[in-house]
Structure 1
């Protein structure tokens, strides 16, 4: 249960104000088909979370606890730094002539692939014997952070103060990563 909750909260924080939210909101605004966008998001997210969690479970078999703690610390540190840094603009996929579900699925899958949330899910999965809990926590975290963006669309930036949320989330992730990294080196 620890892996489920910690992954959920970590990934939820990492996705706040992230490009996944922005692209999902743009696609919802373009297509006006919330169900198709949410379905595409769910399929893309599930696939990415499965890859991440399976990758983490393989890593768990190769290395001992101390390097795993360092891996987790680095995943959180880089996620925190990514939240605090300047963001690239999101390609709205305006030239894609595919239906709403397919555009959402492919666009969000590509955008999420190799994202900070995947590393958090992999790190959490590597630290637990039940990798499915980390996968489920990551999936629910991404969905919980992104579905409101789909429903709010253009009002997202007006209703949710994205910049302060990104800074607070980034600081929390960075702090947690530093704690894990210092523990891995036996400094804390």
Structure 2
């Protein structure tokens, strides 16, 4: 069950306040079709998580347990850095370049989300879990569900979410948590304690 729940929690925490959650919010405010947007996010998250978990499992086949833990510690450290670094939140006009595409709500949401999520911290975390944990399809499923869980409030309650959620505080807490867990894994991987 670790192969499912650890990536689920890590992905859900990593995506809070991230640009993918902001994109989900902008898509929801523009299209006002939460079901279609969430389905597109789920499909894109499943694709990206599957690629990452499978790639991580391929790398993990060449690593011993300590190397896999160190790889995961590096992924967590990169996630912490990505979470703690500020980014410019897009204004309401940015998504409507994408919204003006003549491909429909699902495809615009899928392409936008898959593109912005590719190479993101959640994908690195998923690759780390894929290298460290035994069943990569469960890792992919957990990471995809965690991503959808974190984006769902932004999509379902777009107006309330935009006005009330303090994303900077959430990002700081997430980043600190990732650094703490990364330090523990690195210490364990190097057998310092």
Same fold per superposition (TM over 0.5): yes
In structure 2, do the counterparts of structure 1 residues 38 and 124 end up closer, same or farther at CA, with 3 Å as the change threshold?
Answer: same
Alignment of 1:1-188 (within 5 A): 1-90=1-90, 92-96=94-98, 97=101, 98-188=103-193
- Mapped to 1, the partners of 2:132 and 2:164 lie a distance apart of 36
Q: State which drifts further: 44-53 or 121-130.
A: 121-130
- Count of residue correspondences: 188
Give 1:89 shift. Answer: 3.3
Contact 1:44 1:108 in 2 (8 A): yes
Give 1:158 shift. Answer: 2.6
* Unaligned 5+ runs, structure 2: none
- Mapped to 1, the partners of 2:87 and 2:20 lie a distance apart of 12
3-state secondary structure, aligned to 2:95: coil
Contact 1:26 1:154 in 2 (8 A): no
Contact 1:15 1:142 in 2 (8 A): yes
- Mapped to 2, the partners of 1:136 and 1:103 lie a distance apart of 23
Give 1:159 shift. Answer: 3.0
Give 1:160 shift. Answer: 2.2
TM-score normalised over the length of structure 2: 0.92
CA RMSD of aligned residues (A): 1.4
- Mapped to 2, the partners of 1:99 and 1:107 lie a distance apart of 12
3-state secondary structure, aligned to 1:187: coil
Contact 2:15 2:21 in 1 (8 A): yes
Contact 1:76 1:174 in 2 (8 A): yes
Contact 1:29 1:154 in 2 (8 A): yes
Give 1:36 shift. Answer: 1.6
